[in-house]
């Protein structure tokens, strides 16, 4: 198995927010980083420039994770940079709306499930094919980004999104047991309220601040704090950790 901080890591949805923070921290740890994105060319280019400008190795690859063929192409590009060590499944959407489940349009429900569940499954399948010992690989690590929204179900706001992240948690546990013997560890990080553009895109830029009073630590997370948890799970210090869902939520 490729050692911590060596080899290639794919970070999906890495052009901004938590994904960008993970990509930057992974590069600082010594990984070559594939910055995956679906449509934010400028954001992905900025992340790549930040990495290469600091002496790291990075490549932006445009691919919609809900497209199985595009996912295969993403992994082909990553393998061109060197041995694949890890995959971080960060790509996820809310549908850019906030409201009760009864008002969520059908196309939004289907798109959220396509990206957050089907897309994550497609990426996990390809990761196992490329890294699993039964498939000729050397092992590796998969980190899925979940959400603490699964705890309460996000009633009145993002119940559809919370449901998709519940699927992420279940898949993490099941896949971890399936592929442990292949040398692949599978874990999840579940961020709480985090200061990213996700809330503004849904029309509530002050949402994190308004939730501060419900968080024991009194504030939302910064993307780098989520990234730090991901990098710990990728490291050798977490070598006996698999099937875990790690909440990073300030006690909420």
Catalytic residue, candidates 31, 37, 161, 240: 161
Is 161 considered catalytic here?
yes
> SS3 letters for the chain?
CCCCCCCEEEECCCCCHHHHHHHHHHHHCCCEEEEEECCCHHHHHHHHHHHHHCCCCEEEEECCCCCHHHHHHHHHHHHCCCCEEEEEECCCCCCCCCCCHHHCCHHHHHHHHHHHHHHHHHHHHHHHHHHCHHHCCCCEEEEEECCCHHHHCCCCCCHHHHHHHHHHHHHHHHHHHHHHHHCEEEEEEEECCECCCHHHHCCCCCHHHHHHHHCCCCCCECHHHHHHHHHHHHCHHHCCCCCCEEEECCCC
User: Would you please indicate which residues are annotated as catalytic (active-site) residues?
Assistant: 161
């Amino acid at each position: 198995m490729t050692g911590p901080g060596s080899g290639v890591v794919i970070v999906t949805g890495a052009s901004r927010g938590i994904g960008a923070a993970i990509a930057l921290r992974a590069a600082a740890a010594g990984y070559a980083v594939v910055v995956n994105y679906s449509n934010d060319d400028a954001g992905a280019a900025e992340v790549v420039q930040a990495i290469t400008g600091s002496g790291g190795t990075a490549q932006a690859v445009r691919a919609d994770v809900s497209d199985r063929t595009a996912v295969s192409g993403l992994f082909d590009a990553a393998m061109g940079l060197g041995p694949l060590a890890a995959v971080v499944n960060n790509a996820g959407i809310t549908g850019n709306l906030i409201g009760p489940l009864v008002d969520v349009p059908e196309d939004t429900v289907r798109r959220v499930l396509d990206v957050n569940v089907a897309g994550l499954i497609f990426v996990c399948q390809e990761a196992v094919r490329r890294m699993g010992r039964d498939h000729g690989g050397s092992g590796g690590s998969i980190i899925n980004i979940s959400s603490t929204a699964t705890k309460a179900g996000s009633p009145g706001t993002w119940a559809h999104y919370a449901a998709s992240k519940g699927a992420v948690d279940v898949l993490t546990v099941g896949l971890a047991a399936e592929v442990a013997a292949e040398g692949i560890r599978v874990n999840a990080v579940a961020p709480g309220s985090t200061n990213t553009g996700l809330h503004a895109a849904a029309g509530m830029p002050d949402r994190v601040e308004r939730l501060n009073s419900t968080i024991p630590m009194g504030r939302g997370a910064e993307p780098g704090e989520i990234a730090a948890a991901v990098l710990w799970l990728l490291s050798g210090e977490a070598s006996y950790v698999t099937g875990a869902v790690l909440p990073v939520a300030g006690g909420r």
